[in-house]
Chains A and B, each alone.
Chain A
Amino acid sequence: MINSNFEREFTAIAKEYEKSGGNVSDFLRKDIVSIIVSGNKVIGRNTVDGVHVKAKELDNGVEIWLEIDDGTVIENPIHLCTGYLKPEGTQEVLIHNHLGDHTKAKFISHCVFPSGVNFTHSMVADTDVGKYSEMLYEDTHMHSKDGGVTVKATYNTIVREGGSFQNLFYLTKTRVGKLFVKMSVDLQKNASAHIESKVYEREDDYLEIDEQLFLNGEGSSGIAKTTVFATDRSKAKIINKAYGNAAYSKGHIECNEIIKGDSVEVGTVPELYVRNEKAELTHEASIGRVNVKQMETLMSKGLTEEEATDMIVRGMLR
């Protein structure tokens, strides 16, 4: 529930949260797990049976522990909202998620930094997905218009036997500023993961993404995928890595960078390492302008080049 001392702050964050596609009324429901952070304060919190939430204020941020009991299936998505309303400053968010065995949960996270001029947000999420558990973590960012936000987001995840994990990161609706994303997943026996980032860069935005799959368990599988649309003078450096360390493990990494304009600078490095002869790893990578046939298909129906590009990219970044 919302702390009454922070109602004004909640209203301001809620406004930005809705712009990013969130539904504010979910934060007021008693049957939904929610955590709202502003600066270094937890201004709202709710939980349900089987889910334990603890939070600690830090000097310039918060540390959160979220634990889900064995066998708990969370019907409604767990909502996390992290905001920072001042133009300058630093925010550090440390998250520890622990899902017991045979659990199921979907997390919807929104990070809203609407005023950042010289603002840095650092987030580290350590997640432990228990045996035969399923977890989806969807993280959507909304940054300020002037590109003054720097985000360093690190996701370290272990997926235990038979578990499945999806981590989706989106920054497509606003300027990026400077963004550094690192996702690393340790997959144990028969575990699976899908990690994916989608980013739309404008003006002089800067992006570094480093996605890593460690296929450590027999029969584990994973996909690491990145889609970037780079325009204007933006820069992007994408590294996707997969380590096939166990028998019958399968990994696929994919990076698609679509560029528009002659001043962008993008690069992608796929890295595959196999340490077991029965492991299979594949990769796909492409850098270039929007697919010509897609463009011409839409243009042959009357869209301009700009309109066709916009429609194609909008679809790809969803």
Chain B
Amino acid sequence: MLEVREIKLVRDERKILNTLTATFESGRVYAILGNNGVGKSTLSYVLMGLESHRDYEGKVIFDGEEIDLLSVSERARKGITLGWQEPVRFEGLTVKEYLTLGGKLRLSKEELNETLSIVGLNNEYLDRLVDESLSGGERKRVELASIILVNPKVTILDEPDSGIDIMSMEMIERVLERLRDKGSIVIIITHREEIARMADEAYLLCGGRILASGEPEEIVNFYRKLCDNCQHINEPITEGGRVDD
């Protein structure tokens, strides 16, 4: 189980995350839904423990252990990983080297091929370079494949559909299904209703805090009603009125 307790992160006197509290269970997929700028990606960086986002207040607790002082590598070794919104490119590295982490992961040909097929790529990609020669969509698929192959206990997917055409929603569903089957906690960061609907549970984020949680359909409806064309981003309101600090 992963718990975040009263996480607070301030930048330029602005509360990016504001006493955010949530719990995530193994084998379930969670959508963190919200408009741009409400703190979704920031939450993913806090969970992953990126150097630039370690100055938060509150606690991140994984399987009963407080992991706030752990670095990215240390959290990754505990089984937490992050699928980046815009995956970075690597000069000179092949897809195979990237997926096997330079040979550190001992993976069979079958494992590699099967994982590539989940993300809609074939084994010819193994010799391609993870550089500008891959399109944004191809690079994103490689990133999703790499996430599956590290067999994570906690998977944070930051906008898994960015750079991927709308026809590829089935591919994202396949990725989520695989991760769910393996018992991973999956946290999807998204502003897309279609993606949120793939989750077992959804959280609506606004102003750095959870505004509502529940069934994805319910939260999507809430989001559509209150957040589409929002004129007061990061000043959360509910149907009943403004949420006080």
Chain A residues at the B interface, C-beta cutoff of 8 Å: 291-294, 296-305, 307, 310-312, 314-318
Q: Which partner residue on chain A sits nearest B86 by CB separation?
A: A293
**A318 contact set on B, CB distance < 8 A:** 92
**Is residue B73 within 8 Å, beta carbon to beta carbon, of the partner chain?**
yes
Question: How many Å lie between the Cα of A214 and that of B146 in the bound state?
Answer: 44
Q: Which partner residue on chain B sits nearest A227 by CB separation?
A: B91
**Is residue B137 within 8 Å, beta carbon to beta carbon, of the partner chain?**
no
**B101 contact set on A, CB distance < 8 A:** 298, 301-303, 307, 311
**B73 contact set on A, CB distance < 8 A:** 299, 302-305
List the count of A-B residue pairs having beta carbons below 8 Å apart.
67
**B48 contact set on A, CB distance < 8 A:** 296, 300
B88 engages A311 (CB within 8 Å): no
Question: How many Å lie between the Cα of A57 and that of B87 in the bound state?
Answer: 55
**Is residue B104 within 8 Å, beta carbon to beta carbon, of the partner chain?**
yes
B72 engages A300 (CB within 8 Å): yes
Question: How many Å lie between the Cα of A297 and that of B82 in the bound state?
Answer: 8
| Chief secondary structure at chain A's binding surface | helix
Shortest distance in angstroms between B184's beta carbon and chain A's nearest beta carbon?
14
**B102 contact set on A, CB distance < 8 A:** 303, 307, 310-311, 314
Shortest distance in angstroms between A306's beta carbon and chain B's nearest beta carbon?
10
Question: How many Å lie between the Cα of A291 and that of B91 in the bound state?
Answer: 12
**Is residue B13 within 8 Å, beta carbon to beta carbon, of the partner chain?**
no
Question: How many Å lie between the Cα of A220 and that of B80 in the bound state?
Answer: 51
**B87 contact set on A, CB distance < 8 A:** 297
Question: How many Å lie between the Cα of A310 and that of B103 in the bound state?
Answer: 12
**B51 contact set on A, CB distance < 8 A:** 292, 296
**B93 contact set on A, CB distance < 8 A:** 311-312, 314-315
Give 23 CB contacts A-B under 8 Å: A291-B88, A292-B52, A294-B90, A297-B87, A297-B88, A298-B101, A300-B75, A300-B80, A300-B81, A300-B82, A301-B81, A302-B76, A302-B77, A302-B81, A302-B150, A305-B73, A311-B101, A311-B102, A312-B90, A314-B93, A315-B90, A315-B93, A315-B97
B92 engages A296 (CB within 8 Å): no
Could you list 5 further interchain pairs (A-B, Cβ under 8 angstroms) beyond the known A297-B88, A301-B150, A311-B101?
Answer: A293-B88, A297-B84, A301-B101, A307-B101, A310-B102
